[in-house]
Amino acid sequence: MPSIIDRYLIREIGLTLLATVVVLLLIVLSHRLAGYLNKAASGLLARDSIFLLLSLQLIEVLIFLMPLAFLLSVMLALGRLYRDHEMAALAACGQGPLSVYHAVFLLAAPVALLTAGLALFVAPITMEWQFEVLNRARKEAEVSMFTPGTFREVLEGRHVVYIGALEERELRDVFIQTREANGELSITTGERGRQETDGQGIRHIVLEQGHRYRGAPGRSDYDLLSFEQAKVRIDTRSPVETWRHRETLPTQKLLHSGEPGHIAELQMRLNSPIQLLLIALWAPLLARANPREGRYGRIVAAMLIYTIHFNLVGVGESWLTHSVVDGRLGLWWVHGIFLLFGLGLWLHYQVGGQLLRRLLRLLKRSRIPRTP
């Protein structure tokens, strides 16, 4: 059973963790919301699917942010306790660093297990749903991109498109003005048309029974072309997201696969819970501060260490995907570096503290006694 001190420390860190997770989620999701709104305004995404996509990304973002949120919560909570002399009072009562570690790992263990469960079993399902919703939103945007009776710029302003009416998926009375690369203008009209997407995901407007006028403004030598069918490209590039299908694969399949990409995906799913446990090893030591010492400088140092860990994981994933390192080594070399860092920090505080106490005792014994 956790002691009163354990429950107190768990409550302090846990409440800070909850608040930190909420704030980080709001920051990341608001940034992604802005990106989705931009795509919806460009006609690349159906507006009705935006909040569903954000909901499906909640699990993915939560897994990604959990180690960072745990690090900040430990640094903030313990830093406040050191600043307010509460840790000194606990040490005077016989509750040393081991009691702090006991409370931190009592909280870190279930959080790491929850993160591992989400990453290994829930995230692949939500990623598959997200992929399906995104495809459906893409198809719906093909119809909802143009509003009858309004002009719309596409292809980064190269085309100006006007449609007179929209009947289900068929466009009526289509007008397209195009700026050519040589400075000329072309005007394409069609009685009816439709939107279609090729195999690369690039969208076109297919016009039927129309005319095209082409020439330079201010000159009278325009070319006139009548056509039965014409195709106008309205996307600058393929709008298909760079989804990696391995993210939707079940963990059981990744365990029995020897492909480098699958090994890298499995290692990345295990990264967040392992990183969280490693943070529980070294963050309480880094949070130790003198009563008058500011705690935010240590938070900056902790963020720097986390950034190094994060970047090394990215490098390790790239090496795994491209078979630069052996699959058996995986990302364990990155975790091993920070395990040694945590142990070295522990030895620094423990051995250094013992040497300092012995030195003080020797100094007391060597004092010259006062003469009466």
At residue 361, the pLDDT reads: 64
Cβ neighbors of 267 (< 8 A, separation 6 or more) are 316, 317, 320, 330, 331
pTM assigned to the model: 0.76
Whole-number pLDDT of residue 240 = 45
Q: Which residue has the higher pLDDT, 216 or 237?
A: 216
User: If residue 345 lies in a helix (H) or strand (E), which one and from where to where?
Assistant: helix 332-365
Predicted confidence at residue 36, as pLDDT, reads 87
What are the domain boundaries of the chain? 4-141+242-365, 157-233
- Compute the mean pLDDT over every residue in the chain, rounded to the nearest whole number: 84
The pLDDT tens digits of the residues spanning 102-153 come to: 899 999 999 999 999 999 999 999 998 988 888 777 766 655 667 788 887 7
Q: What is the pLDDT of residues 229-278, one digit of tens each?
A: 888 887 655 444 444 478 888 999 999 888 998 999 999 999 999 999 99
Q: How far apart are CA 111 and CA 89, in angstroms?
A: 28
Angle between helices 260-286 and 50-83 (to 10 degrees): 30
Check: CB of residue 158 under 8 Å from CB of residue 177.
Answer: no
| Confidence class for position 358, pLDDT limits 50, 70, 90 | low
Would the CA dihedral through 98, 102, 107, 111 be positive or negative?
A: positive
